[in-house]
Structures are given as C-alpha cells and as structure tokens.
Amino acid sequence: MSLTDRHLFLIAVTLYGISSLYAIFLLRRGFREDNRINYCLLLGGALFHTYAMFQRGFSLQRCPINNLYEATLFVAWTIVATYLLLGTWNRLRFVGAFASPILFGIGVFALMPSLDPPHGDQPVFTGGWLSLHAALILLSYGGFGLSAIAAVMYLTQEHNLKFNKPRAIFSLMPPIQRLELVMTGLMLTGFVLLTVGLTIGVGYLKETHDVYFKGDTKILWSALVWFACAGMLISRWHFAQRGRKLAWGAVGMFAFVLLTFWGSNLLSGIHNPAPEPPATAAQRP
C-alpha cells in the first residue's frame, strides 16, 4: 500500500511533535545545548511535508492551495522552510525550539478531515491570478508566524535578562536588540506580501463581480488583519511603540490569524460559492 499525501504529512507532524518535546529540554537548559538534533528532526519533517505537497499537487495537476487543508500545509511549509534556511547558521538553530510547537499545532489542526473534502468538490482557488493571490497571502501568514516566533524569543530573552541574568548571558540566542529587528523585519515582509496579495484580489473582484469591495466575511477579516499589522508598524516607527509591546502585538496578531483563518474561510460566500442547481429537462440541450 503506497503512502498518500495525508499519510506523508502525518509522518511530518509526528516529527514536529517529537521536535516539540525536545524543545522543552532545550528550554530547560536555557538554550545552552547544541540544537543539531532539533534541526535534524525538523529537516526530516520538512522532507515528508514537501513530499506530501508535491504528491498532492501532481495528483491534482495544479498548485495545491485548493482548500483549507492545502492552504494550511502551505503556511506551515513556509515556516519550516524559512527556519531550515536560517538554521544553516549555527547560532540561529535555536529558532526551531520555538517553531516546532507552532508547526505541530498547525499540523494537528490541518489533519482534521473536515478541512479536506473530496477532490470532486468545487475548488476555492482556480486560475493563475487567483493562485498567485492565494500564494502571496499564505506566504504573508507564514511571515507573521515567523515574526511571532521571533517575538516569543524576544520575550523569553527579556525575561531572562530581568530574572535570570546568567541564563541570558550564556544563552545561544542573539542579543535582544537583534531579535527586535528580526521581528519587525518579518512583520514588514508579511505586510508587503499581504498588501500585494490583497491588491490582486481586488483586481479579480472587479473583473468577476464588477466591484472593488464586498461585505464578505473573508474580505472584512483580511482588511482587519491588514489594518492591525499596519497599525503596529506605524506605532513602531512613528510612536516608538517597540520592544515588549510590539512583541506581544506580533504574538497576538498571529494567534488571531491562526484561530480565525479557517472560520472566516468557511463563512465566506466568495470562497464557498453555492453550487449551481442541476439543469432541468427543458434546459438540457
């Protein structure tokens, strides 16, 4: 019996779970241990994760971002692929200790059967422009996830500096100022990707519905995320809202995206159009 893409992804999620358990050990050691084992666990999970995405894409002959299961796979893959790139630098491998619990949680949720209806159901994303629109927005969510990871690292290091200075000194994590720059840069990257993706979506809406805006649940939700991110970036540069407040904002925004993304999609009329009624005998040619 050959493994399906869901079986492959289940193996990846299992490796992410083992990595999460190992991350507890690293946390208790104050990140003074080598992160090579954790990196290898996430690398193994990423290989199965990538294989699952390719198998799904080849089986459907299209970009695999058709439903909530596939969209979730894409977001998680963005996070793990970026970490693997960062992890080639030894001093940045500790990021995996924060990324693995997020990957495990996203993966467990993605495996819910209701997120992956049979392939015969109508697709959500079709066509080149809509695929690009979806891919850019999902990449932006990956950027927000990485920004949240950097924010958690910032808050951890700040706590160590206040209450456990020896742990902060001997930790392998970079200085708190660098963590703030990374957190802000990733948030800005996610914001730019989200802006471009939404702009393409507005153009497609005008082409198909002859309007630039509709009171659809998903559109309103996306606008809320865009304004929230814009507000945090503006407060960072113009009102000196930085450090701890910015870190909690990054964590809160990604938590909101993670917890409400699926619900907003399911309530969206644009992303879940009503099926056309079957043709009557008089309408059939």
- 129 and 204 Cβ atoms separated by less than 8 Å: yes
- 31 and 97 Cβ atoms separated by less than 8 Å: yes
The band of 169, judged by pLDDT with boundaries at 50, 70 and 90, is: very low
Residue 125: its pLDDT value, please?
47
Residue 171: its pLDDT value, please?
53
CATH match for 1-116 among 3.40.50, 1.10.10, 3.40.1130, 1.20.120: 1.20.120
User: Taking 90 as the threshold, does the pLDDT of residue 48 lie above it?
Assistant: yes
Tens-place pLDDT, residues 107-153: 888 888 777 776 544 444 445 566 677 778 877 888 888 888 888 88
- 57 and 104 Cβ atoms separated by less than 8 Å: no
Show me where the domains of the chain are located: 1-116, 136-271
User: Taking 70 as the threshold, does the pLDDT of residue 106 lie above it?
Assistant: yes
Q: Of 15, 125, 119, 104, which is closest to residue 58 (Cα–Cα)?
A: 119
d(C-alpha 150, C-alpha 185), whole Å:
10
Centre a 10 Å sphere on the Cβ of residue 24 and count the other Cβ atoms it contains. 12
The stretch 185-195 carries a mean pLDDT of: 88
Contacts of 267 (CB under 8 A, 6+ apart): 217, 218
Instruction: Annotate 144-202 with three-state secondary structure.
Output: HHHHHHHHHHHHHHHHHHHHCHHHHHHCCCCCHHHHHHHHHHHHHHHHHHHHHHHHHHH
User: Taking 80 as the threshold, does the pLDDT of residue 104 lie above it?
Assistant: yes
Residue 123: its pLDDT value, please?
46
User: Taking 60 as the threshold, does the pLDDT of residue 85 lie above it?
Assistant: yes
239 φ/ψ angles, rounded to the nearest 5 degrees:
-120, 10
Residue 46: its pLDDT value, please?
92
Residue 230: its pLDDT value, please?
92
Of 86-95, 111-120, 130-139, 163-172, the range with the highest mean pLDDT is: 130-139
Residue 39: its pLDDT value, please?
84
Token pair listed for 231:
């507000």
User: Taking 80 as the threshold, does the pLDDT of residue 51 lie above it?
Assistant: yes
Residue 170: its pLDDT value, please?
45
